[in-house]
Structure 1
Amino acid sequence: MAQVLIPSQLSAYTDGATRVAASGATVGAVLDDLDRRFPGLKFRVVDEQDRVRRHMRLFIGQAETRSIAHPLAPDDELLIFGALSGG
């Protein structure tokens, strides 16, 4: 299972957890697994066309990916980051 780091702005979906385990061979499959357990979380990360939202960043280790088709190894760590805005 991959370890997924959840940003604080999405932790309400995970009952406050900022690190959760999820299964899947790709980023998209991991997001699907998370969405089954935490409904609504995936839609905050990807849009209706399965593209990573502009204000979200996904990293596998230190490498950024914009593709939900990106493969994951069972011991990979997926980091989800959300851009902060204000004014």
Structure 2
Amino acid sequence: MIRVSIPSQLIAYTNGATRVEAEGATVGQALDDLDRRYPGLKFRVIDEQDRIRRHMRIFVGQDEARTTAAPVPSGGELLIFGALSGG
């Protein structure tokens, strides 16, 4: 089981939960599992080419995941952040 931290801009998909759990050995598998329970969440994080959207950041523990193929250890933590922008 993986602990997943959900950013405030996505909690509408998780019924207000900021922490949820997921199954999977990679970032993509964990997001697929989340999307089965929280439809629409994955599309807000991953684009049509299965790439992490440029305004989103995903960390596996303290390491930034650059692709959905990034491994997530069992019992690990996945942190999803909405990147800030502006000028």
TM-score band (shorter)? over 0.9
What is the aligned residue count? Answer: 87
Task: Note the 1:23-42 alignment, pairs <5 A.
Answer: 23-42=23-42
- TM, length-normalised to structure 2: 0.95
Structure 1: tracts of 5 or more residues without a match: none
Q: In 2, Cα distance between the equivalents of 1:23 and 1:72?
A: 10
> Which residue in 1 is equivalent to 2:64?
64
- TM-score, structure 1 as length reference: 0.95
Gaps of 5+ in 2: none
CA-based RMSD: 1.1
Q: Distance in 2 between matches of 1:59 and 1:43?
A: 17
- 1:86: Cα distance to partner? 5.4
Identity value in percent: 72
Secondary structure of the residue aligned to 1:44 is helix
For residues 9-41 of structure 1, the C-alpha deviation after alignment (integer angstroms, 9 at most, x for no partner) is: 000000000000000011000000000000000
